[in-house]
């Protein structure tokens, strides 16, 4: 389960970076060249999702929990936004949901 969770975190970072770089270009006046690493990052994201042993629907559902947590960590440490208690509570609920889903992967 730890390997799957770590893989989800790497996958989430690839997706967030792939979306953040075009945001930097469109909203923050960054170079259009940011689209090249963004494209590579999103391709990496798609490839990483294929490395999971479960059916794609279960992977996407459980990945969502890790994505929520990773997004909030990004918000705090990259964007510098202080997180509220409700942010952390929501992250814990999402993470609990992810753990419940992946705990049943071996039963099918």
Q: Residue 12: pLDDT above 60?
A: yes
pLDDT value at position 1? 67
Report the percent of the chain where pLDDT is more than 90.
65
pLDDT value at position 43? 97
More confident residue, 75 or 55: 75
Local confidence band at 76 (pLDDT 50, 70, 90 cut-offs): very high
Average pLDDT of the segment spanning 85-99:
94
pTM equals 0.80
Least confident of 30-39, 45-54, 86-95: 45-54
Which structure tokens are listed for 30? 């960054």
- Measured in Å, how far apart are the chain's first and last C-alpha atoms? 16
């Amino acid at each position: 389960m730890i390997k799957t969770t770590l893989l989800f975190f790497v996958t989430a970072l690839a997706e967030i970076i792939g979306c953040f770089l075009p945001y930097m270009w469109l909203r923050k006046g960054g170079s259009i060249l940011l689209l090249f690493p963004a494209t590579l990052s999103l391709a990496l994201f798609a490839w990483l999702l294929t490395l999971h042993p479960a059916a794609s629907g279960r992977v996407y559902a459980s990945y969502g929990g890790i994505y929520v947590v990773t997004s909030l960590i990004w918000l705090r440490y990259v964007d510098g936004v202080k997180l509220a208690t409700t942010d952390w509570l929501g992250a814990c609920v999402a993470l609990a949901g992810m753990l419940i889903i992946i705990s049943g992967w071996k039963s099918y």
